[in-house]
Amino acid sequence: MGRKYSKNVQKLIRKIKYQCKLLDVEFSLANSYSVYTKEGSSCYGFFSPPTALRRGTLRVGIADKPLEEWVLTLAHEYAHMMQWFNEDKLFMDYEKDDSLYYELEIKTEKQAFVILKESGIRISESLKTRSRKYIRSVRENYLMTKKKSKRSSKKS
């Protein structure tokens, strides 16, 4: 693990790496601020399940960020991987209906905090604030998309 992290962070990274290996998911902590999905979208981290044709991916950008910020992103993407593995109903339904994204992200953020807590990783007030801002931005994007789709369906 090139960098020095607390024992609890190291333990969480090892656990996630190990589970990724078992589930045919490529694990990567990228030395960049953001990462790109297979579709070319820029984000802080993502999980993409494996298919019959390719390995899955769990990737998080860690450069130029406070540790607690990218560790929350890591826990969030790990929560998505476990939702996929456990065939979580909301995760599986979202695969077919992206209007469930906001609901799925709220659930996933909550699970990420549980993962951090169970791993003995401190959760600061600033991290909670960052999480609330993220959920607010997801909600705003969801509402804007919903408005746009209503307008375009009225024009049809």
154 within domain boundaries: no
Residue at 17 is within a domain? yes
Helices assigned H by DSSP within the chain = 7-22, 67-85, 89-96, 101-118, 125-155
38 in a domain, yes or no?
yes
* Residue 104 lies inside a defined structural domain of this protein: yes
On average, the pLDDT of the chain sits at 92
DSSP one-letter code for 41: -
Task: Specify the pLDDT at position 146.
Answer: 74
Which three-class secondary structure state does DSSP give residue 100?
Answer: helix
Specify the pTM. Answer: 0.90
- For the chain, the first-to-last Cα distance in angstroms comes to 55
Q: How many domains does the chain have?
A: 1
Distance between CA 18 and CA 13 in Å, rounded?
9
Would you state the structure tokens that stand for residue 22, as one six-digit string? Answer: 């078992």
Mean pLDDT along residues 25-51: 95
Q: Which domain holds residue 18?
A: 7-146
pLDDT surpasses 60 at 18: yes
Tell whether 45 is covered by a domain: yes
CA-to-CA distance for 92 and 54, rounded, in angstroms? 19
Q: Answer yes or no: is 139 within a domain.
A: yes
